[in-house]
Amino acid sequence: MEASDRCRRHLPVLLLWVNGLMRLGLAGVHQQINLCNESLMLEKLPVCGKFFEGMMKKVDSKKWCNLTEFIMYYNNFTQCTEREANSASCFWPNPLAESFITGIHKQYFSNCTLDNVHWEDPPDEILITLILIPVILTCAMIMLVVWCSKRSDILV
């Protein structure tokens, strides 16, 4: 009995002591605050741009709008910008990295937008099928509900 009373009295003191340790960071959890070094990041990002430029020289400029021609190069470029931003203790994407990537997009992909999008109806067979399936299903569901509501004495 005496031991349990002593434990009850010392429990709040022990909890306060553990709480104090956690607040001081002595419990094994260390928070390190790293501020983003934007100037270092801005120095390193052009390296990624130069590498991407070298890779894009291998692709014919007429194929720059075909993503399958350079997807691996673009993936490497994206990973490089992320790696360099993280090495400068900056999150990615951030406004500076985004503006750098936008500049690369303007340089290589500015002519890739289509001015006139030409929308086309599907062939008549497909269009009729796409219209009739929901109509038939709706009618079938209505008939099933009406039939079941008339036969409620059997279903209960």
Average pLDDT over residues 70-85: 94
| Residue at token pair 């709480």 | 19
User: What tens digit of pLDDT does each residue of 94-132 get?
Assistant: 999 999 999 999 998 888 876 666 778 889 999 999 999
Greater confidence (29 vs 3) lies with 3
Specify the pLDDT at position 23. Answer: 64
From first CA to last CA, the distance across the chain in angstroms is 64
DSSP alpha helices (H): ranges in the chain?
Answer: 2-24, 38-56, 67-87, 95-109, 124-150, 152-155
Domains and CATH numbers, the chain: 34-110 (1.10.150.510)
pLDDT band at residue 27 using 50, 70 and 90 as cut-offs? very low
Greater confidence (16 vs 35) lies with 35
